[in-house]
Chain A
Amino acid sequence: MTTEQLFQKVSLGELLELEYGTSLPDKDRTGLGFPVFGSNGVVGHHSQFLVEGPGIVVGRKGSVGAVCWSAERFWPIDTSYYVVPKGQTDMRWLYWLLYSTDLKRLDAATGVPGLNRNDVYALKVYSPKPEEQSFIATKLDLIDEAIIRTEAVITKFKKVRAGLINDILAHGLDAGGQLRDPVAHPEQFKDSPLGLIPKEWECDPIEKHTISSAYGPRFPGECYSERGNVALMRTTDMDIEGNLSLEQMPLAELPLDEFRAHFLEVGDFLISRSGTCGIGAVFHGYRYPVLPGAFLIRFRLASSLLPEFLRLYVNSARGARRIRDLAEGGVQKNIRGSALLTHQIPVPSTDEQQAMLLTVDALREDLDKQERELLKLHKLKSGLMADLLTGRVRVLEEVTL
């Protein structure tokens, strides 16, 4: 048997038909039962179904060409098509085929995006025999499963980390590096304005551990320049954990001497005071001098309070909730520097702060590794799809020849 016979290029219209879904307004849905599919996934549930599962839904209006899989019986609404395979065509293989095809580029309509099914039918694809189709589908399912399971591990891991940070910030680590236990050893704890904290800890206003603090300076907008000599850090340059993306910072052309006093130093602690309210970050240096933006407050801390520890605290569920209460104003919330200075936080010894940070960092590294692996799997999936669905790599050769 030649490759040509086994693996022909045919138009999609020979493999499938796209049928219109049926309108089912939100108010008519019963809320429980079979999934109702819109143009881009499940939009609700209803006690009745329109199409036997499993099946494929393709976005027709709105999310043009989005491809969704339903393992059970379902109801596609009128903004979508559902797939009726012709002949022996394998449904799951069709799913992968459509998923890997860029249907979005077929968007024909002006205004509301729309997909014409005749355009879809006209697409030419490689179509192996049905048994090879199902074989390809199961292989691709495998990598999908690997991605889902990796994601599950990562999600779980993030929860573990959140729980651990909470426990560490509540109980601290004793000299042996172990979590203190308030149930077994209540004598190791004391009352404070922040509730129960370990005996060795202090409850201090941030002020007490601050050498200096300042709002970011303002300067005229026209100073921004791609060839500037100073980088400007904005609230948008930090994510919700306070990780900085320094390369995104805009540059400005400014007289260095005039602004020198405002330049960030390595180890400075920054906190957003408006926009995103109360997110803490630590500056670790950059190739340009960096100015904090007007919506940031910069703290230079004494050696008794590690900036990374303060960041861990203010970004944790526990700390963030208390910082949020300082915010004033309506739509545009604002935290005042003076309110932050008098804000009380738990302060362990620097050794303990250090030990806490090390524990949390170890988890962070593990998480990063998992996320890199996940990214890799996604790339592998794209590669495999391209190879298997275009016949570049054959799956059934050994079996059939």
Chain B
Amino acid sequence: MSKLSLAKLERHLYGAADILRREGMDAATYKDYIFGMLFLKRCSDVFEAARDTILNKKVEQGVAMEEAEAYYGENPDYYDEFFVPERARWGYLQSKLSDAKTPFGSVLDTALGALSEANESLEHVLDHISFMRVQSNKRVVSDDACKDLVRHFSRDGYRMRNEDFQFSDLLGSAYEFLINMFAESAGKKGGDFYTPRDVIRLMVRILKPQPGLSVYDPTCGSGGMLIISREYIEQSGGDTSDLRLCGQVNDASAWAICKLNMLLHGIPGADIQLQDTLLHPLHRESGELERFDRVIANPPFSQNYTKSNMEYPERFRWGWCPTTGKKGDLMFAQHMLAVCKPGGMVATVMPHGVLFRGGEEKKIRAKFLDQDLIEAVIGLPQNLFYGATIPACILIMRPNLTGHSPNPDKPETRRGKVLFINADAEFHAGRAQNYLLPEHVEKIASSFERFEDIPNYARCVSLEEITGPANDYNLNTRRYVDNSPPPELHDVRAHLLGGVPVAEVEAHQLLFASLGFEESHAFTRRKDDHLYLDFAPGLPDRSAIRPLVENDAGVQSRAQALHDALSGCWQEHSPRVADLPERRNLNAVRSEFLSGFVTALLPLESLDRFKLAGIVATWWTETLPDFKTLVENGFAGVIDGWIDAIADAVEDDEAGPAIDPFRHKLVRRTMDDYLERIGTAKTDIARLKSEKEAFEQSNAPEDLDEEELAAWNYAKDIERQMKELKAENKEALKELKKLEIAAAKIRANDADKRAAAAARAALKPVLEKIAEIEEAVEPYEKIKTNLTAARSRYRSLTDFFVAELKGRCGALCDDEKRQLVLELFAQDVRAGLDAAVTEKRQEVVKFLEGVWDKYKVNLAELRSYRTDIEGKLGDLLMTLRYI
């Protein structure tokens, strides 16, 4: 049986959402039902397997099957995971589908209730899901929809035991997908419980959680920060069993989502509390607040808070923001600092306002700075968060027990300094949202690690400079790191007299050199003029610029050098990928690739460190599902996974194929000839179809209007003519046939023959017309026959496509499989590198086109052109006798 891939499961869940969308539900409402159904199915599937194991064991030990079922199969004590009572088992639910007596919604509600009753850890988690819920006289989910859901989740190929998944955390990932989907469609509300995963990955990369530490999120929403902290350790090859994950959230629905998230990710030990963190922090140890090694959060932006009944007010030792005026942000930051262990780290998302607002907030900020608590301020692009378009920042802080600067718990070189990273200009613009891509995350994270100045991007600023009168405790990133593009230069003399200023060309020297482009191919030096250049004869017009750059020998050879360096680097490091199934050290391999790639390619001076690292980071993230499969199922598993995905796409699931199966890299590598045959069949079909259409549209009468013309079909018209003709002469034709049969008989006499001939002669015009029509329609029939043949050829090729692919891949030995997968991985890295180089070439072309447009023609020339044309215009007006 093929394993369930993430993409396939995601589409399956999307299909379930469709059932509820048809009921007119929005994401906020239907999400709970999908979560509930998914959870029921998962528990039931896992339970059935555990139950079978227990029963088999008991029967083996000599217990009668009936007895084993009654005493052991139904005894919760024998199960490590959830015990699923009879009424919550999937088979039971299915059996109730045809039961007309009980509403099916109540069957489901009973199942959920029974499940949480039988398992203490599920207390209250499923309470808010009610399939029988009524809103103004109408069931929110109709019984039909409830049944459709169960049928949908019962479909073959979607069993949810661990061994059914391509990698073990697949269910957790699918759940994340659902949460993301709901958050995205929930608009502003979505931001309340969901922080985009790219932002979290960035924060976790900076915090670097380690095995054995505790991680705490005081406003944990759906729990993404905790999940990804754990994932980080896992991918570093670390042991997550003694990691302590704690979260608190103030919204019951988010709390339930978070609890389920933890369960589906296989983290039943996570300590998730439901309460307002500022009022009642619930993670306590013998009356004291518990301290954590890593505190990470994205608190709700700009909210009011209240002081009444507040516990542990000593947390807010740096100051009290006004309770009104939506200034609760720094209260969260203080809480985080207060519960962070000495030597620990805090990372929090904050709105920009806390960086520069005055009043109490300024006083708190001043204390943070005077105590040297702030390590970095990272300005993020705007519109990253659901429902909040305002730009935000990330504050990285470390508590300081001494209470004064320098902070001994900061790394030595960072004491008394704040690193400002202005990353607000680098993002991927989506339709409704902006995103941080792996390359952006990598750049920010590695800038933080390097903790040094990067022009127009990052700057290390001393506390003196921030607290001095010029800046007065203002942390606005733009003050310290200006990343706005320089204004466009205009050389007045060049505009007036022509020529390209040497200075502007020289400013791009590095860009040219990075590609191996020789400046003299575009410009020639003037005699005795060291300030201006001319365009080279190789550039007769503007359109020659792009080919000049792309075909340049230096540019080509530099590209080759990059490829060579990449091959060398791949040779050296790809064995680490091959070792993954054994060593499972994903993050270590990732870092090795990052640094190996940068070390190998940086000396060529084509791309900067961050761009190079970005290429690997992007490739790594895109390939990560494959790596996870590799770790668990080896190279053969990776190929099987690809084949499964291709097979799914060919089958064309209800949500439409997620990928184009015929363009998959595995297919292109192994099925080239087969694809060509499919291609030929496809072009044949297209050609025959257009021939067919052309025939149908031909011979239209001239007097048709537009609408009639569109509806015109020659083939149908002929058919109609034929029918009419035959109907009009039905009797005569019948008679003729009879006479001809009689005349054809051996015993036929002359009279019979004469009668037949006479009848035929009488019908001659009709018969001729029929023959004429038959002749006209003949090519059409031929086209149709050929089209049918081409279609069936295409169908059989596509029908056997997956089988053929499986056959070809199956015939490979293990070594060949490893080779194939590694080659395809390498191909992806090369594609990333090529894209980056192309982007650079584009920059050169853009620059050359820019100076061309600016300086190719000078003002005097333009004015003289204009004078010419004005002369001609004058002549014209004269001719027309206007003047």
Chain A residues within CB distance 8 Å of chain B: 117-118, 139, 142-143, 145-146, 149-150, 152-153, 156-157, 159-160, 162-164, 166-167, 317-318, 321, 324-325, 327-331, 342, 387, 393, 395, 398
Contact = CB atoms under 8 A, between A and B. Distances in A.
15 contacts: A142-B873, A143-B873, A146-B873, A149-B865, A153-B866, A156-B495, A156-B857, A159-B854, A162-B490, A166-B490, A328-B476, A330-B391, A331-B391, A387-B880, A393-B880
Given A142-B876, A160-B490, A330-B389, 4 more contacts: A146-B870, A159-B495, A324-B478, A324-B484
B491 interface: yes
B479 A330 contact: no
A142 B875 CA distance: 11
Given A146-B869, A163-B490, A325 B479 contact: yes
A324 to B, nearest CB: 6
Interface stretch (B91-99, B197-205, B349-357): B349-357
Nearest to A322: B482
A143 B874 CA distance: 10
B782 interface: no
Scoring B351, B382, B489, B705 by chain A CB atoms within 10 A of each residue's CB, the highest score goes to B489
B495 A160 contact: yes
A166 B863 CA distance: 23
B863 A153 contact: yes
Given A156-B862, A331-B389, A342-B470, A163 B492 contact: yes
Contacts of A328: 352, 356, 476, 478
Contact of B478 (A142, A150, A317, A327): A327
A149 B866 contact: yes
A146 B873 CA distance: 8
A387 B482 CA distance: 57
Interface of B: 351-353, 356, 382, 389-391, 470, 476, 478-479, 482, 484, 486-492, 495-496, 705-706, 854, 857-859, 862-863, 865-866, 869-870, 872-873, 876, 879-882
Contacts of B484: 321, 324-325
A325 B495 contact: no
B859 A157 contact: yes
Given A118-B706, A159-B854, A395 B880 contact: yes
Contacts, number: 95
A149 B495 contact: no
Nearest to A342: B470
A139 B876 contact: yes
Contacts of A142: 869, 872-873, 876
A160 B866 CA distance: 18
Nearest to B868: A149
Contacts of B496: 160
A70 to B, nearest CB: 16
Nearest to B881: A393
A167 B866 contact: no
B492 A160 contact: yes
Please list the 10 inter-chain residue pairs (A to B) with the smallest Cβ-Cβ separation, ordered nearest first.
A163-B490, A317-B487, A330-B390, A163-B492, A149-B866, A160-B495, A146-B869, A153-B862, A330-B391, A159-B490
B872 to A, nearest CB: 6
B492 A164 contact: yes
Contacts of B881: 393
Contact of A145 (B353, B492, B869): B869
Contacts of A387: 880
A321 B879 CA distance: 53
A149 B859 contact: no
Given A152-B862, A160-B492, A166 B873 contact: no
A146 B479 CA distance: 48
Contacts of A325: 478-479, 482, 484
A318 B487 contact: yes
B427 to A, nearest CB: 15
Contacts of B390: 330-331
Contacts of A398: 879
Nearest to A32: B546
Nearest to B491: A163
B391 A149 contact: no
Given A156-B859, A331-B389, A321 B866 contact: no
Contact of A330 (B352, B854, B869): B352
Scoring B391, B705, B866, B879 by chain A CB atoms within 10 A of each residue's CB, the highest score goes to B866
B382 A330 contact: yes
Contacts of A330: 351-353, 382, 389-391
A329 B876 contact: no
Nearest to A167: B492
A64 to B, nearest CB: 17
A124 to B, nearest CB: 20
Contacts of B353: 329-330
Scoring B351, B873, B882 by chain A CB atoms within 10 A of each residue's CB, the highest score goes to B873
A156 B498 CA distance: 12
